[in-house]
Structure 1
Amino acid sequence: MKITIDENLFQHMPNLKLGIIHYTKITVSESPQMLKGRLQLFQEQLFFELDTKPLTDFPGIKEWRETWKAFGADPSRYRPSAEALFRRIKKQNYLQSVHSAVDLNTFFSLQYEIPAGIYDLSKIVGNVQLVIGEKEDGYDGLNGRFNSLHHILQLKDEQSSFGSPYVDSVSTAVTEETTDALHVLFLRPSMTREEALQLTTACGNMFTSISGGEASCFVVNQECPSVILNGTHSSNM
């Protein structure tokens, strides 16, 4: 499997970058109490911080609103997923535990103020590309409704769209049957490649410390716009 950022996107956002983590032989199950407690505590602390701090004072939220606008989307109508999480917490509508993979993905998104998505590799068909959504693009999302992806960044395989920094599709959702997964971190464009790789590696290490298996971590950006995943062996192109 080859994962590529469409080169046309760099015309709008030269520093656009993704953190890519390829997991193999993982075990997805009910989250350990440690993770549940950490996720709950983080949300409670964030609630009090949001009481006095505007959303746009969070660097990651601000950057992703700017990224949204750069590609022609309205962040006030279709919010980046990290901002949507922050707004839920501001209303004290805390996120409940789902399973280890989803809970870790949520924790990373909150901690680093970035959209993030995790996908079952067995449900992805062929190669993957990050492109901008056209009028006809959309899917049934994890939010329980059909979502248009017009002017919104999206991940597409050779069959259909399946993920975005807005909301992910139900078609590639990770379940407790998942053993191989693709984790995509929609990193802050201002990060250096070194910072991006450190963050991506930290997420991969924390994930496998809870879910077992192995993680291969990469960053794709303008200088290195693709990565090939092949079994347990992966390489940047």
Structure 2
Amino acid sequence: MVTVSISSKLHDSIPDFRVGVIVYHQLTVTQLPAIIAEKLPLYYQNIQLSLETQPIASIPGVHEWRALFKKAGSDPSRYRPSQEALLRKIARDGAPHSVNSAVDLNNFFSVQHSIPMGIYDLDTLKPPVIVTIGSVEDSYNALNGRIVNMEDKLTTIDQIGAFGSPIVDSKRSCITTDAKNALQIVYLRPSMSEDDAAHMLQKIAEMFVQVHGGDSDWSIVR
């Protein structure tokens, strides 16, 4: 199991902060199976329709995570939690952009549970991994094509440097069809009970392995 911890700096700002950690081995990343890919458009269409009458900021998972961003020291209206960004894209475009089976499934889980999630090519990382609040030295080339400075933002680092966050992840750690092993960070809502969090992580891991093969281990890190 990959060692993942939460820094004292983050615990000082958010004492009840937790993440779910799922490690996958011997994956085959391609495109989503047809049985899933055919159902996702209708799922996202239903969400798009519901967002016509429900403000995104009022969704419990979004509301809770915006509050966590403020506690960490960042402005959630400028740097949005990733599941809020996904919901805004669904409201605007009807669905997230399809990338590959791992990213598409990760986005589905994030929308389904209304929490940020990151999926990373484990072989690009140099553990241990620490979830923390970034400093002025922490930055990376992000998937949105920008150099993102992680000062006062929730971020995940390894021995090389920052590589992910519940905002946007880095190109260095992105998962592609070449990936064989993966690390998934599930940014739990503090209001979620331990039993509910464990049940969710188990179901996520099971579905991910059903699609990609291989095996998984999961844990809750406090």
Q: Sort the TM-score into its range (normalised by shorter chain).
A: over 0.9
Whole-angstrom distance in 1 between the partners of 2:3 and 2:120: 15
Whole-angstrom distance in 2 between the partners of 1:108 and 1:65: 19
Unaligned runs of 5+ in 1: 222-237
Tell me the CA shift for residue 171 of structure 1: 0.2
For 1:170, give the aligned amino acid: K
Whole-angstrom distance in 1 between the partners of 2:211 and 2:184: 15
Whole-angstrom distance in 2 between the partners of 1:38 and 1:188: 27
Contact 2:44 2:94 (8 Å CA) reproduced: no
Whole-angstrom distance in 2 between the partners of 1:16 and 1:34: 36
Tell me the CA shift for residue 153 of structure 1: 0.8
The alignment-based identity, stated in percent, is: 39
Work out whether 1:20 is the aligned partner of 2:21.
Answer: yes
TM (normalized to structure 1)?
0.90
Work out whether 1:143 is the aligned partner of 2:144.
Answer: yes
Residues 121-146 of structure 1, C-alpha deviation per residue, up to 9 Å, x if partnerless?
11001311011011232111111211
Residues 69-88 of structure 1, C-alpha deviation per residue, up to 9 Å, x if partnerless?
00110000011111111111
Whole-angstrom distance in 1 between the partners of 2:36 and 2:186: 19
| Paired position in structure 1 for 2:154 | 153
| Paired position in structure 1 for 2:65 | 64
For 2:115, give the aligned amino acid: I
For 2:217, give the aligned amino acid: S
Q: How does 1:197-216 map to 2 (within 5 A)?
A: 197-216=198-217
| Paired position in structure 2 for 1:121 | 122
| SS across alignment from 1:53 | coil
Runs of 4+ in 1 over 4 A off after TM superposition: none
| Paired position in structure 2 for 1:226 | none
Whole-angstrom distance in 2 between the partners of 1:69 and 1:38: 36
Contact 1:39 1:103 (8 Å CA) reproduced: no
Tell me the CA shift for residue 94 of structure 1: 2.3
| SS across alignment from 1:135 | coil
Residues 82-133 of structure 1, C-alpha deviation per residue, up to 9 Å, x if partnerless?
1111111111252232111001100001000011011111100131101101
| Paired position in structure 1 for 2:219 | 218
| Paired position in structure 1 for 2:194 | 193
For 2:82, give the aligned amino acid: S
| SS across alignment from 1:107 | helix
Work out whether 1:11 is the aligned partner of 2:35.
Answer: no
Whole-angstrom distance in 1 between the partners of 2:44 and 2:94: 10
Contact 1:21 1:183 (8 Å CA) reproduced: yes
| SS across alignment from 1:29 | coil
Contact 1:31 1:97 (8 Å CA) reproduced: no
TM (normalized to structure 2)?
0.96
For 2:8, give the aligned amino acid: E
For 1:197, give the aligned amino acid: A
Whole-angstrom distance in 2 between the partners of 1:109 and 1:207: 13
Whole-angstrom distance in 1 between the partners of 2:45 and 2:98: 14
| Paired position in structure 1 for 2:133 | 132
For 1:137, give the aligned amino acid: D
Contact 1:28 1:100 (8 Å CA) reproduced: yes
Residues 138-169 of structure 1, C-alpha deviation per residue, up to 9 Å, x if partnerless?
11111121112121111100011111000000
Unaligned runs of 5+ in 2: none
| Paired position in structure 1 for 2:177 | 176
